[in-house]
Amino acid sequence: MRTFFLLAVLLLARAAHADPTVLAVKGDDVFVDLGAADGATAGAQLRLLHVVIAKDPTSGQTLRDRFEVGTLTVARAGDHVLLAHPEDALRGKVVVGDEIALASAPVAYVDPWQQRVAAAAGTPAPATDDDAARTVDEADAARAVWQQTLGLAPAERIAKWEAYLSERPQSPYAAAVKAELVSLRAQAQQLDRAATARAAAASGSLDDDRTHQLALALADLIPSAARTGPLVDAAPTTALPGRPITLAFAIVSPARVARAWLYVRPRGKAGFEKLELAHDGDAYLRATIPASLVVAGGLEWFVEAASAKGEPEAVIGDQRSPRVIDTLEDISEAPIASGRSRVAARLEYVDFDGKLGGGHDQYYQAEFDFTYRFLQPVHAIRLGFGTLSGQGGPKDIIDADPTGQCLDASGTYSCRRVDFSYVYTEFELRPSKWVGLMLRPQAGLLTTDTRPMSSGRCRGGADTSDCDFGKGLGLRARVRFGEEDSTNLVLGVGFTSGVGTLIEALYQWAPRPVVPVTLAVQVTDQPVPEDFGVRIIGDVGWRGMSWVYPSVRVSYQARDIDHAGISGGLGLNFDW
Amino acid sequence: MNTLVVLAHLLHIPPGSARPGEPIELVAVIDAPAAEPALVVHWRAIGGAIWRDAPFERSSAGGWYATIPAASPPGVEYYIGEPDHAHFASAASPQQITVEPELIDRLEDQERARTRDLPDQVALDLEGHDFGNRYGHSDYYARAELSWTHRFLRTLDAASFGAGGITGRTPSMDGADATIDPRDARYGFAAARLRLAPAIFVDARATVGVSQEGFMKGFGGSITLGRPWRSNLSFGGEALDALGGSAFVRLQWDTAPPLLMGASIVRTDLPGALVSADGLLLRYDVSYTVAARFTIRGALSYGARDGSAHFGGGLGTAIAF
C-alpha cells in the first residue's frame, strides 16, 4: 500500500510540474517531489512552507501566500523524490500538500551510471531528447493506469496493474508496481475473508446466499443452469455397460440440500437402489453408480434432497419420471458357449407292408443337419440335407394283388418309386422358455419312376423313360412345449409336394441323464400321397460322452391292420 | 467463528461426458477470485499417472474458463483446487468425464486387438465339385483364387483384390449323345466388405475376366448375420456371364474351438451347366488356425445335378500380416 501511494504521488508530481510539495508523510518520513536532479542531495536543507489561501470579501478574489514554518533535512534523495526528516518543532505538523523550497545551494548531480557509460564510450553521455521523451512516456503510461484504478475494487486494480506490467515489463516503475500488487492482493484476500465470514454468519450454515449469487451468475453464462431446483447437473446420457458412473451435482441452493440421495435402477426393473450423495468441495454432491447397475438396456435415476429440517423431495427427476442413462450397445463378444451346436445324422427304414424288399410300401429316409443356437434374435437355425427314397401306392391294390406286383384288376402297375433329395433350413423361435416354434421350408429334386420293378433307375441311370423329374417343395411347422434338453412335447405337421404329408407328436425325455428317449406317433402318407398310415416310434440314445451320442430307433407302422410292418433306424448326434 | 478454509468460491456444472476429439471446456463463476490468484483444473487421463494443469482464465463475458484438451476414451478425470483447498473433487477422488468412443471406433479397437493388429491377409483357396451325370458324362468344376485382403476395420471393413480361374466340363445337352463342353475362365476381382452393424456384414464383389465365350463380367454379394469369425448365418450369390449363377446359405459355428465349422447349401450352375439348373450340394467346411498368422481350411461337399450325388471338396490357406 505504501509503495502504491508513493507511486501515485510521484506520478501526480511529475504530471503537475508545479512547485515541490510534500507528497506523503509517514511518521518522521516526509516525501517530497524534489530529487537529486533538482540539486537536492542527502544533507541538504529544505524549507517547509505553509500555504494560505483566502478569499477577499471585498473584491471576491482568491488570495494565496506561503509562510516558512521550519526546515527539514534530506535523508535520502532519488532522482526526483527525496526523503526528509523534519526538525523537532515540525514533528506532527507536516501535511501532504505543503510546499517545499530548497534552502541549501543546489548541488550538481552526476548520474554515476551514465558517467560510467560515457567513460566506456570515451565521450560524455549527455541526456538526449529521446531519453527525456521515454521517461515522460513511461510516467504518462503509469499515470494513466493509476487513474483507471481509482475507485475500483482491489481485484480489478490488480488486473489493470498486471496488464500494465505485462505490456511494459521494462518500465522504470515495474518494481514499484510489483510491490503494489503484493499489497493489493493482501487487501483483496482480507476483503474476501471478511465477505465470506459475513455471508457465513448471515446464513448460519453453508453460505447459501453466496452460492445463490454464483448460481445466478452461472445461469447467465449457461442457460441450462437456470433451474428452479437446488441442484444442477450435466449427467451423462449414455454409458458403457459394466462400467461405474460418477455423477456430480452443483448445489445452487445449499439451504435446501442438507442431505440428498440418488435412486437408481436398471431400466425396467422394479425398485430403486438408494445411494446417499456426498457433499464435496465448495458446493457439490457426488456419488458413483456401481457397475452392477450399469447394464444393457440402460438405467433410470432420480435425486431427492432434504433441508436440515425438511422432508425429502425429488429435485431431479422423480420415481414416476426418472432420468435415463442409455447404455451403449454392448459389442463385447460373448465367450464361446458349449452346447450351442449339434450335428445330427439319421437313417431310417420304414416298412409299411411288412414285406421289406419284396413289398411295395417302403422307404428309407436319411437326414444330415447342422444346428446352431444363436438364442437371439432367432433361437436356432438348422441347415440340412436329406434324401427320401422308396415306393408306395394304394394299399388296397398292393394288398389285393396276389402276384405281389402292385397290379390292379386291369393289370396296370399302380405303384410309384420316388427319390427325393432335398435341402432345408429350419428356424426356431423361442417366444418363451417353455415354447419353441420351428418352421422348416425345404426344396429338392423329386424323381418319380412309374415303371415296375425298377430300383434307382431314374435317380442315376441313363434310362430315363417313364421317369418324371421335378421339384419337390415343402414346409414343416412344429411347436415344442418344454425345454429342448429336458422333457418336452413336440407337435408338428409337414407337407412336401409329390412326397406326402406328415403329422407327428413326439414326447422326449431322459429317464436317466445318459439315456435320452423319444416316443413318437406319426400320421403320414409318405412316400407317395396315397393312403394315410400311423407310425409308432421308439428312439433310445446313449449319451456315454457329453459330445456324442448314438441312438437306435424301432418303429411299427400300418395303413390298416393287415398292412403293417416293423422297422428301425440309427442316429448319431454330435453336440458341441 | 470457525476458521474459513475456502476463500474463493467456485461453481461450475461438472460435465459427465464429452465427445471424443473435442476439448472440454469448464465454465465457472468464482467469487473472491483474488483470494486465489491461480485457480487451476488438475486433470489426467482416466487411470493415468501424471496430472496436468489447466488454469481458469477470466473472460470478458464474465465467466471463468478452463479448457482440458481433447480427450480420447475412456476419458479424463479432474479436480479443482489444491489438496488442502479443494473446490471440487480431489486428487484422491477425482471426478470423471467419460469420453465414449463412437461405435465404429470401439469396433475397430476390438477387432484390431483380436487380429493382433495384422490388417492384411493373403489367401489361396481351391475348391471343386464333381456333379456326375447319369449318362456318364463329365460335369465338374474346379476353382482357384488368390486374394489379398486389407482390413480397414471401419464401416468399410475390408477390401480385397485377387485373381482366379475356373476349369470345368459339362455336357452340352441332355442325353447320352451330348458332347462335353470345356468351361474355363480366368479373371480378376475386387471386393469390399461393409460392416453395417456390429454383427451385420455385407460383401460385394465385381469380377472381370475372360471365358470360352470372350469377355466375362460378374457380380456377387452376400450378407452375414453374425461376425464372420464367430457363429453366423450368411447367404448370398454370384453371377458370372458364361459360367452361370450360384446361391448359397451357410451356417457357421464356433463351438468346437480351435475349429471353425460351417455347413452350406449351395445351388450352382458352375461351370455353366446346360443340362440342368438344379445343381445342389451340401458343403461342410472347417478351418483351423495353426498359428496366429496362419490358417488352413478344408471342405467336403456332396451333391448332384443330373443323376446320383457325388462328392467334392476344397482346400485353402491364409496368412495374415
What pLDDT, on the 0 to 100 scale, is given for residue A133? 67
Judge whether residue B117 has pLDDT over 50: yes
- Average pLDDT score over residue span B288-300: 94
Q: How far is CA B113 from the centre of its chain?
A: 12
- Average pLDDT score over residue span A209-234: 80
The CA-to-CA distance between both ends of chain B, in Å, stands at: 72
CB contact under 8 A, B16 and A221: no
Which pLDDT band holds residue A190 (cuts at 50, 70, 90)?
low
Q: Does A460 touch chain B (CB under 8 A)?
A: yes
Judge whether residue A271 has pLDDT over 80: yes
Judge whether residue A562 has pLDDT over 80: yes
What SS3 state is found at B203?
Answer: strand
Which pLDDT band holds residue A180 (cuts at 50, 70, 90)?
confident
Angle at CA A207, nearest 5°, toward A204 and A213?
Answer: 135
- Beta strand A231-233 with A245-251 is antiparallel
- Listed range (A9-13, B270-274, B314-318) with the worst mean pLDDT: A9-13
What pLDDT, on the 0 to 100 scale, is given for residue A124? 47
- Average pLDDT score over residue span A257-267: 94
Q: Does A232 touch chain B (CB under 8 A)?
A: yes
Neighboring chain A residues of B106 at a CB cutoff of 8 Å? 328, 331
- Which residue of chain B has the CA closest to A201? B1
Please give, rounded to a whole number of angstroms, the shortest distance from the CA of A466 to a CA of chain B: 15
- Asked if residue B290 and residue B189 are part of one domain, the reply reads yes
Top pLDDT among A324 and A211 is at A324
d(CA A493, CA A239): 47
- pLDDT tens digits, residue range B62-81? 789 999 999 988 899 999 98
* Minimum-distance CB partner of B7 among A192, A333, A340: A192
What pLDDT, on the 0 to 100 scale, is given for residue A128? 53
* Minimum-distance CB partner of B15 among A234, A239, A328: A234
Please give, rounded to a whole number of angstroms, the shortest distance from the CA of B186 to a CA of chain A: 31
Please give, rounded to a whole number of angstroms, the shortest distance from the CA of A304 to a CA of chain B: 18
Domain total of chain B? 2
* Minimum-distance CB partner of A372 among B31, B74, B251: B251
- Beta strand B156-171 with A533-541 is unpaired
Which pLDDT band holds residue A3 (cuts at 50, 70, 90)?
very low
E strands within A482-543?
488-496, 500-512, 515-524, 533-541
> Where is the domain boundary, B47, B80, B99?
B99
Closest CA to B94 of B76, B108, B116: B76
Which pLDDT band holds residue A392 (cuts at 50, 70, 90)?
very high
* Minimum-distance CB partner of A188 among B35, B176, B280: B35
What pLDDT, on the 0 to 100 scale, is given for residue A62? 66
Top pLDDT among A14 and B176 is at B176
pTM of the model: 0.67
- Asked if residue B123 and residue B91 are part of one domain, the reply reads no
Top pLDDT among B87 and A463 is at B87
| Any domain includes B2 | no
Neighboring chain A residues of B35 at a CB cutoff of 8 Å? 188-189, 192-193
Mean pLDDT of chain B: 91
| Any domain includes B4 | no
- Listed range (A354-358, A499-503, B35-39, B182-186) with the worst mean pLDDT: B35-39
Q: Is the dihedral of CA A137, A138, A141, A146 positive or negative?
A: negative
Neighboring chain A residues of B89 at a CB cutoff of 8 Å? 248, 280-281, 284, 286
- pLDDT tens digits, residue range A476-487? 999 999 998 889
* Minimum-distance CB partner of B9 among A191, A214, A370: A214
> What is the CATH number for B76?
2.60.40.10
- Average pLDDT score over residue span B162-176: 92
- Asked if residue B291 and residue B243 are part of one domain, the reply reads yes
CB contact under 8 A, A372 and B34: no
Which of B13, B58, B84, B112 is the mutation pick for testing A, counting most A CBs within 10 A? B13
- Asked if residue B300 and residue B258 are part of one domain, the reply reads yes
CB contact under 8 A, A246 and B95: yes
Please give, rounded to a whole number of angstroms, the shortest distance from the CA of A196 to a CA of chain B: 7
Top pLDDT among A7 and B312 is at B312
CB contact under 8 A, B35 and A193: yes
Neighboring chain B residues of A220 at a CB cutoff of 8 Å? 62
| Any domain includes B1 | no
CB contact under 8 A, A381 and B14: no
Please give, rounded to a whole number of angstroms, the shortest distance from the CA of A214 to a CA of chain B: 6
- Average pLDDT score over residue span A262-280: 93
- pLDDT tens digits, residue range A92-121? 778 777 788 888 777 766 555 555 445 544
- Asked if residue B190 and residue B84 are part of one domain, the reply reads no
d(CA A373, CA A391): 36
CB contact under 8 A, B12 and A218: yes
Q: Which amino acid is at B42?
A: H
What pLDDT, on the 0 to 100 scale, is given for residue A194? 58
Q: Does A215 touch chain B (CB under 8 A)?
A: yes
* Minimum-distance CB partner of B95 among A197, A201, A248: A248
> What is the CATH number for B272?
2.40.160.40
Neighboring chain A residues of B176 at a CB cutoff of 8 Å? 462
d(CA B312, CA A554): 34
What pLDDT, on the 0 to 100 scale, is given for residue A12? 43
A–B CB contacts, 8 A cutoff, strictly below: 218
Residues sharing a CB contact under 8 Å with residue B31, sequence separation 6 or more, in sequence order: A192, A195, A210, A213, A214, B8, B9
- pLDDT tens digits, residue range A346-370? 999 999 988 887 889 999 999 999 9
CB contact under 8 A, B61 and A195: no
d(CA A494, CA A223): 66
* Minimum-distance CB partner of B14 among A213, A250, A374: A250
- Asked if residue B297 and residue B242 are part of one domain, the reply reads yes
CB contact under 8 A, B255 and A341: yes
- Average pLDDT score over residue span A420-425: 92
d(CA A505, CA A478): 9
- Asked if residue B249 and residue B203 are part of one domain, the reply reads yes
What pLDDT, on the 0 to 100 scale, is given for residue A206? 47
The phi and psi torsions of B308 (rounded to 5 degrees) equal -70, 155
Closest CA to B35 of B9, B60, B17, B56: B9
| Any domain includes B247 | yes
Judge whether residue A312 has pLDDT over 70: yes
- Asked if residue B129 and residue B180 are part of one domain, the reply reads yes
Cβ neighbours of B282 (radius 10 Å): 22
Closest CA to A4 of A203, A155, A190, A178: A178
CB contact under 8 A, B103 and A207: no
Q: Does A196 touch chain B (CB under 8 A)?
A: yes
Please give, rounded to a whole number of angstroms, the shortest distance from the CA of A401 to a CA of chain B: 32
- Asked if residue B124 and residue B69 are part of one domain, the reply reads no
Q: How far is CA A259 from the centre of its chain?
A: 27
- Asked if residue B35 and residue B158 are part of one domain, the reply reads no
**Structural domain of residue B95, as residue ranges?**
9-99
Neighboring chain A residues of B95 at a CB cutoff of 8 Å? 246, 248, 286
Which of A369, A383, A388 is the mutation pick for testing B, counting most B CBs within 10 A? A383
Neighboring chain B residues of A454 at a CB cutoff of 8 Å? none
- pLDDT tens digits, residue range A313-359? 999 999 999 999 999 888 888 888 888 999 999 999 999 988 887 88
Neighboring chain B residues of A191 at a CB cutoff of 8 Å? 32
- Specify the residue for cell string 422348416: A440
What are the angstrom distances between the C-alpha of B315 and each of A305, B127, B266?
A: 69, 6, 17
Neighboring chain A residues of B11 at a CB cutoff of 8 Å? 211, 214-215, 217-218, 250, 252, 282-283
Contact B288, B88 (CB under 8 A): no
Q: Which grid cell sits at A139?
A: 510516467
ipTM: 0.77
> Where is the domain boundary, B99, B120, B155?
B99
Kind plus residue range of the DSSP H or E element containing A141: helix A129-149
Q: Does A477 touch chain B (CB under 8 A)?
A: no
d(CA A527, CA A360): 11
Which pLDDT band holds residue B16 (cuts at 50, 70, 90)?
very high
- Beta strand A273-276 with A278-280 is unpaired
- pLDDT tens digits, residue range B201-258? 999 999 999 999 999 999 999 999 999 999 999 999 999 998 999 999 999 999 989 9
- pLDDT tens digits, residue range A117-149? 455 444 444 455 566 667 678 888 888 888 888
| Any domain includes B306 | yes
What pLDDT, on the 0 to 100 scale, is given for residue A254? 86
What are the angstrom distances between the C-alpha of A141 and each of A18, A146, B60, B320?
A: 20, 9, 23, 72
CB contact under 8 A, B265 and A445: no
Share of chain A above pLDDT 90, in %: 41
Mean pLDDT of chain A: 84
* Minimum-distance CB partner of B1 among A201, A421, A462: A201
- Asked if residue B260 and residue B308 are part of one domain, the reply reads yes
- Asked if residue B254 and residue B166 are part of one domain, the reply reads yes
CB contact under 8 A, B16 and A189: no
> Where is the domain boundary, B99, B120, B140?
B99
CB contact under 8 A, A233 and B13: yes
Exposed/middle/buried for residue B279 (C-beta within 10 Å: 0-12, 13-18, 19+): buried
Please give, rounded to a whole number of angstroms, the shortest distance from the CA of B221 to a CA of chain A: 20
What pLDDT, on the 0 to 100 scale, is given for residue A123? 47
Exposed/middle/buried for residue A422 (C-beta within 10 Å: 0-12, 13-18, 19+): buried
